[in-house]
Structure 1
């Protein structure tokens, strides 16, 4: 037995139409499917919902539920806002920086780019309060992944034993991402 791929991931949204339009405008995702029911198929609970599906590229689907009869959604107060997020891969640094400009031009606050060694990321929030990340591969991605792969089990063992961040992959942050000069304009 083996998982083929993720079929979709689903989150809650405040407004299905607003969410579809935001993801189309901000991230260029196509709206591919909508399902609306008065009864939850898996639990048979009477609860009307709108379930929307967006094309996140590469066969990946991002879905949302609007639940008008439920209390407003909230966040786990014990989990920092930066922890739970959805990350999407983009082709390269040029695309990442183009998205950053586009999102800022649309009025969003964008953090980054942040250099994670094997990849670079920008961060922002959707209208539902979900943190999003766009990530592009670093030119040295293959080598960085190889080096991280070599230490992953020891890092996990050390973390489990001490609950302190092991330094086996400190090489990831030994350099600082410097955007190309044209990106600074």
Structure 2
């Protein structure tokens, strides 16, 4: 008999990068992440393959770690041509709307194009790309406890409807009505 594991948190999320040093420098400068450690091997410990790599780790705050692999002997990085660029992304949380707007100004001052803030009902977010082409999002929560409770209660119904129809269920219409567009926020 097996038991479901008890997860504590995400230990780290790993992506590929073109240049480990450039990536570490960018994440430190643009997002203020702390570079905490690195591993570098000529053979992959899990498979034994001869494939030199540099594996760098950045602290995102709250015990969350973002890691990157530089793989100099592998073909250039690519992306899934069947997945739109906006789908695969990393999202980080900031404290509030003021922090989001300050982050946007800081990132734009680095010469990086930023999209947003975009309204998502219970959060607002901005979007931009790192030097490896990975899409990043910074988000601040704006929902009320009642809104989060409503969405949690609706989640099973929405998933079932989506599964049947492959069309967006509109059970929480307020999610799609930006109060700022009505002059309310």
TM-score normalised by L of structure 1: 0.93
Whether 1:131 and 2:173 are equivalent positions in the alignment is no
Aligned residues of 1:51 and 1:65 also touching (Cα < 8 A):
yes
Q: Tell me the secondary structure at the aligned position of residue 65 of structure 1.
A: strand
Whether 1:144 and 2:144 are equivalent positions in the alignment is no
Among candidates 75, 79, 85, match of residue 81 of structure 1 = 85
Taking the aligned partners of 2:172 and 2:72, their CA distance within structure 1 comes to 45
Among candidates 51, 65, 68, match of residue 64 of structure 1 = 68
Give a deviation string over 1:72-113, Cα, whole Å, max 9, x none. 001100000000000000111111100000011111110000
Give a deviation string over 1:43-66, Cα, whole Å, max 9, x none. 111000000000000000000000
Alignment of 1:27-66 (within 5 A): 27-66=31-70
Whether 1:97 and 2:101 are equivalent positions in the alignment is yes
Count of residue pairs the alignment pairs up? 178
**Corresponding residue of 1:181:** none
Counterparts in 2 of 1:176 and 1:70: CA distance versus 1, 3 Å: farther
Aligned residues of 1:119 and 1:141 also touching (Cα < 8 A):
no
TM-score normalised by L of structure 2: 0.93
Taking the aligned partners of 2:162 and 2:11, their CA distance within structure 1 comes to 31
Taking the aligned partners of 1:54 and 1:157, their CA distance within structure 2 comes to 38
Where does the alignment leave 5 or more consecutive residues of structure 1 unmatched? 179-185
Taking the aligned partners of 2:18 and 2:69, their CA distance within structure 1 comes to 8
**Corresponding residue of 1:156:** 159
